[in-house]
Amino acid sequence: MNNVNIAYLESFLETAKQRSISKASERLQMTHPALSKQLRSVETYFGATLFKRSPAGVELTEAGKALYARIGPLFKEISALRAELSAMRHSRKIRLGALPSLAAYYLPEKVFELNSRNIEAELVVANTSAELHDMLQSGAIDAAVCGHIPIHPSLWSTVLFEEPFYAVVYSSHPLASRTEASLKELSEEPFILHPPVCQIRQLLTTLMEQHGHRPVLKAEVGFGEFILGYVATGAGIGFVPRIVAVNASNPKLRSFPITNDGARRTVSLFTLEEDLGKQLFPLLKEGRAAP
């Protein structure tokens, strides 16, 4: 015999652990005679008796102990390498689209979780949910995490979480000490808002119009500009999702929730492939890293 099957060496290790050919054959899911034949092949290959056999079971000889000590650690490395290569073979790369606020505050821990599950996620940030839906349908991204809007029938979706909207004001603002407020109370306040295509601005406008008001626009800032930076100068107030408000670290800012019904954002996961969506949902849903 010029070589030995690696599986025979694994059989040797298992038999040594169990100290019984019968128990080892059960663990290895093979017959007693087949395992005995493999063990004899290993002994022939190394030219040494590896086990002392008795009615009570088997015990390693000195030669067997030496072999066990040398190949035991080696097989741990082989098992680890096998698992690593298997993970690489089954890993998947995806392009995950997201709104800026979600990419900054919600998804970092989620992406880390995806990576640990062999899903390599590349974040692609877009300013509006409509942009992300277009990118998804064109194949530019594989999945999107954004505001829930009416979708094309070809898309699969599920809700990840909901959150209220907050008003953010300068620390010396008369409302800075408030713990909540209605949009009616803010109807005369000057707002700092993104352009009209912004879904949040559209929602604010709709909610205020329901009560006979329209937002007083102090300044319209581009999507690349940070609304709260303007609020911190005292230029006006902001209307932002909770995840943005609670993560604002500027000591000049104060925030409080809006009490109006409907002043909430539903964040959903969208995919073209239902199977991908169902794979991602447990890892992206609110819970492990709730906002």
More confident residue, 237 or 151: 237
In order of their start, the domains of the chain are 6-89 (1.10.10.10), 94-161+266-285 (3.40.190.10), 163-264 (3.40.190.10)
Angstrom distance (rounded) from CA 197 to CA 147: 13
Query: Which tokens is 59 given?
Result: 């015990």
Res. 64: pLDDT tops 60:
yes
Instruction: Kindly tell me the sign of the dihedral angle through the C-alpha atoms of 168, 170, 172, 174.
Output: negative
Band (80; pLDDT cuts 50, 70, 90): confident
Query: How much is the average pLDDT of 272-281?
Result: 93
Res. 288: pLDDT tops 80:
no
Look at the block and give the residue holding tokens 């089954």. Answer: 90
Res. 76: pLDDT tops 90:
no
Band (226; pLDDT cuts 50, 70, 90): confident
Cα–Cα–Cα angle for 128, 118, 291, nearest 5°? 45
More confident residue, 91 or 60: 60
Band (223; pLDDT cuts 50, 70, 90): confident
Cα–Cα–Cα angle for 94, 96, 100, nearest 5°? 160
Mean of the per-residue pLDDT values for the chain?
91
Contact (CB, 8 A) for 75 and 13 = yes
Look at the block and give the residue holding tokens 């100290």. Answer: 19
Q: For residues 199, 128, 227 and 241, what is the CA-based torsion angle, rounded to 10 degrees?
A: 60
The percentage of the chain sitting over the pLDDT mark of 70, rounded to a whole number, equals: 95
Span 176-216, pLDDT tens digits: 999 999 999 999 999 999 999 999 999 999 999 998 999 99
Angstrom distance (rounded) from CA 228 to CA 53: 78
Q: Say what the pTM is.
A: 0.67
Cα–Cα–Cα angle for 287, 289, 290, nearest 5°? 60
- What radius of gyration do the chain's Cα atoms show? 31
The percentage of the chain sitting over the pLDDT mark of 90, rounded to a whole number, equals: 79
Angstrom distance (rounded) from CA 155 to CA 269: 10
Contact (CB, 8 A) for 158 and 146 = no
More confident residue, 90 or 56: 56
More confident residue, 115 or 95: 95
Smallest CA-to-CA distance from 118 within 270, 242, 227, 280 is with 280
Res. 114: pLDDT tops 70:
yes
Query: How much is the average pLDDT of 274-283?
Result: 93
Angstrom distance (rounded) from CA 40 to CA 58: 13
Band (4; pLDDT cuts 50, 70, 90): confident
Query: Which tokens is 103 given?
Result: 């990419």
* Helix, strand, coil tally for the chain in percent (to 5): 40, 25, 35
Measure CA 289 to chain center.
9
Contact (CB, 8 A) for 167 and 238 = yes
Span 245-266, pLDDT tens digits: 999 989 999 999 999 999 999 9
Angstrom distance (rounded) from CA 170 to CA 175: 9
Band (88; pLDDT cuts 50, 70, 90): low
Smallest CA-to-CA distance from 241 within 210, 263, 209 is with 263
Res. 283: pLDDT tops 70:
yes
Query: Which tokens is 129 given?
Result: 């949910």
